Amino acid sequence: MPVWLRDFSWRQTASRVFLAVPAEGERRRLLPGRPDVFCAERYLKVSAPPFLFEAFLWAPIDEARSSARLQDGSVLFTLQKREAAAWEALLAEGVDKEEMQRIREEAVRKAHEKAKEETEAKAVRKRERSKCALEATMKLEEEERKRVELLKEAERNRATEDIEKWKKQNQLPGRDTLLPAEKKQERSETRPLSGGTAKTPSRLRTAGSSGNMFDEKVKEKSIPAPRCSGNIQLHFTPRVFPTALRESRVEEEEEWLQKQAEARRAINADLAELEDFSEEEKNPDWLKEKGNKMFATGNYLAAVNAYNLAIRINNQIPALYLNRAACHLRLRNLHKAIEDSSKALDLLTPPVQDNANARVKAHLRRGTAFCELELYTEGLQDYVAALKIEPTDKSIAEDAEKIRRIIQETEGV
């Protein structure tokens, strides 16, 4: 049963309210650990098991501009009034149990809606940032492509100018113009022989061959020498991620790599510890059945050990957490039972008909642990959730009604 905190101190100004829970100077009731604080428009809640504090405020506050801080085991609230006016008291008067329940449910609903809106807004901002980054990257790549094209065009123009310049410098005389040596050779070959018959000029007979030889020599002089062969060594910076370095986020990548390294070290350590186990003992299904048999015989500690080893091998099986939560309930490890039930509910998503039975068990076991800790409000929420899944189960409905009566008796004290 929770210990309700009734002692508190408060003061106000025209626009603010200052509240201390528990009251300053109450050293015997300092809150242990780090309490869970919930602030809504007309509802405040501080939960630090076994202590619980609730306040239904006199007038609405602006929760977005209000704040809370922990100091010396007390929670100090600074509440911003929606309307600047003096309050007659901190707590509202004439609020019955039904109105209290309505205010609680309304505050939780608004908190869920606000969290959902913030998540959606964050996702929209992330998509906008990704879109802007992509557009900037595309723009940079387009500019780089244009720059490369301009460089190529300039290089082509320069090469064309060099070729034209070389042609002008090495231009040959036309074939209708004879060199001095060629003229002398022509006269000797065309001298008439005895009998008055002239020889056919050798130039005419060998014009084609001499022209070809000359062209070959010109070609040999104009063709550049072969280039020397060689090897070029290229070295690339190794990258784990497929994205280019200009598109990377170094801090996020380093954090991811560090987590991966820690996970690999943990896996290697687990594998080293499991080397001495047989193949059956490395099978999570076999370990689950072994834990079930030990639970049936009442050996809950041994069953917990079997489930622990199975979870180390495969931590994505909801039944392992459900069964271990049942063992913790029998061993009175109530906080561990709540933790395992919550983990099982996280894995049982999305909620479908095939996992309905498992979800009912998880809610009931967590609700039972809450009730054993005398946190009946939280326990009732789990029982109501289980009843929504199995509305025809009379035993769940009866247990939920018993918890409601306990809460009513507690609030009536």
CATH of the domain at 54: 2.60.40.790
Q: Is residue 223 part of a domain?
A: no
Q: What is the three-state SS of the chain?
A: CCEECCCCEEEECCCEEEEEECCCCCHHHCCCCCCEEEECCCEEEEEECCEEEEEEECCCECCCCCEEEEECCEEEEEEEECCCCCCCCCECCCCCHHHHHHHHHHHHHHHHHHHHHHHHHHHHHHHHHHHHHHHHHHHHHHHHHHHHHHHHHHHHHHHHHHHHHHHHHCCCCCCCCCCHHHHHHHHHHCCECCCCCECCCHHHHCHHHHHHHHHHHHHHHHCCCCCCCCCCCCCCCCCCCCCCHHHCCHHHHHHHHHHHHHHHHHHHHHHHHCCCCCCHHHCHHHHHHHHHHHHHCCCHHHHHHHHHHHHHHCCCCHHHHHHHHHHHHHCCCHHHHHHHHHHHHHHCCCCCHHHHHHHHHHHHHHHHHHHHCCCHHHHHHHHHHHHHHCCCCHHHHHHHHHHHHHHHHHHHC
The contacts of residue 131 (CB under 8 Å, 6+ apart) are none
Contact between 91 and 58 under an 8 Å Cβ cutoff? The reply is yes
Instruction: Give the percent of the chain with pLDDT over 70.
Output: 76
How much is the pLDDT for 225?
A: 72
How much is the pLDDT for 199?
A: 45
How much is the pLDDT for 264?
A: 64
How much is the pLDDT for 364?
A: 95
How much is the pLDDT for 244?
A: 67
Q: Is residue 192 part of a domain?
A: no
Q: Match 């072969």 to its residue by tokens.
A: 226
Residue 148 corresponds to which tokens in the numbers above?
Answer: 């490369």
My answer on whether 56 and 118 are in the same domain is: no
Q: Is the pLDDT of residue 220 over 80?
A: no
Last residue of a domain, one of 234, 261, 278: 278
My answer on whether 259 and 301 are in the same domain is: no
Cα distance between residue 176 and residue 185, in whole Å = 15
How much is the pLDDT for 148?
A: 92
Q: Is residue 32 part of a domain?
A: yes
For residue 13, give Cα distances in angstroms to 55, 74, 78: 19, 21, 11
Q: Is residue 104 part of a domain?
A: yes
My answer on whether 292 and 324 are in the same domain is: yes
| Domain residue limits at 144 | 96-156
Cα distance between residue 341 and residue 248, in whole Å = 39
Contact between 34 and 70 under an 8 Å Cβ cutoff? The reply is yes
Q: Is the pLDDT of residue 369 over 60?
A: yes
How much is the pLDDT for 195?
A: 46
Mean pLDDT of the 265-289 span: 69
How much is the pLDDT for 196?
A: 47
Confidence of residue 54 (pLDDT cuts 50, 70, 90): confident
The CA R_g of the chain, rounded to the nearest whole Å, is 45
More confident residue, 281 or 315: 315
- Phi and psi (nearest 5°) for 270? -65, -45
Last residue of a domain, one of 235, 258, 278: 278
More confident residue, 173 or 90: 90
Q: Is the pLDDT of residue 194 over 50?
A: no
How much is the pLDDT for 275?
A: 57
Residue 181 corresponds to which tokens in the numbers above?
Answer: 């040596």
Q: Which of 122-131, 239-248, 255-264, 374-383 has the lowest mean pLDDT?
A: 239-248
More confident residue, 338 or 36: 338
Last residue of a domain, one of 51, 85, 119: 85
Mean pLDDT of the 110-116 span: 85
How much is the pLDDT for 300?
A: 92
Q: Is residue 221 part of a domain?
A: no
How much is the pLDDT for 210?
A: 45
Q: What is the pLDDT of residues 323-359, one digit of tens each?
A: 999 999 999 999 999 999 999 999 988 888 888 999 9
Confidence of residue 22 (pLDDT cuts 50, 70, 90): confident
My answer on whether 74 and 114 are in the same domain is: no
Mean pLDDT of the 139-167 span: 90
Mean pLDDT of the 64-69 span: 86
Tell me, what amino acid is at 282? K
How much is the pLDDT for 171?
A: 67
More confident residue, 125 or 25: 125
Number of domains composing the chain = 4
Q: Is residue 233 part of a domain?
A: no
My answer on whether 332 and 258 are in the same domain is: no
How much is the pLDDT for 367?
A: 94
Cα distance between residue 46 and residue 413, in whole Å = 19
Q: Is residue 190 part of a domain?
A: no
Query: What's the whole-model pTM score?
Result: 0.38
My answer on whether 297 and 355 are in the same domain is: yes
Which CATH number fits the domain that encloses residue 287? Answer: 1.25.40.10
My answer on whether 45 and 112 are in the same domain is: no
My answer on whether 49 and 123 are in the same domain is: no
Q: Is the pLDDT of residue 181 over 70?
A: no
How much is the pLDDT for 267?
A: 56
How much is the pLDDT for 151?
A: 92
My answer on whether 55 and 143 are in the same domain is: no
Cα distance between residue 317 and residue 326, in whole Å = 15
Q: What is the pLDDT of residues 96-107, one digit of tens each?
A: 878 888 888 888
Q: What is the mean pLDDT of the chain?
A: 79
How much is the pLDDT for 26?
A: 47
Confidence of residue 398 (pLDDT cuts 50, 70, 90): very high
More confident residue, 213 or 386: 386
Q: What is the pLDDT of residues 300-311, one digit of tens each?
A: 999 999 999 888
How much is the pLDDT for 14?
A: 86
Confidence of residue 200 (pLDDT cuts 50, 70, 90): very low
Q: Is the pLDDT of residue 198 over 50?
A: no
Q: Is the pLDDT of residue 174 over 80?
A: no
My answer on whether 11 and 123 are in the same domain is: no
Q: Is residue 58 part of a domain?
A: yes
My answer on whether 14 and 109 are in the same domain is: no
Contact between 45 and 38 under an 8 Å Cβ cutoff? The reply is yes
My answer on whether 300 and 354 are in the same domain is: yes
Q: Of 372, 309, 370, 299, which is closest to residue 341 (Cα–Cα)? A: 370
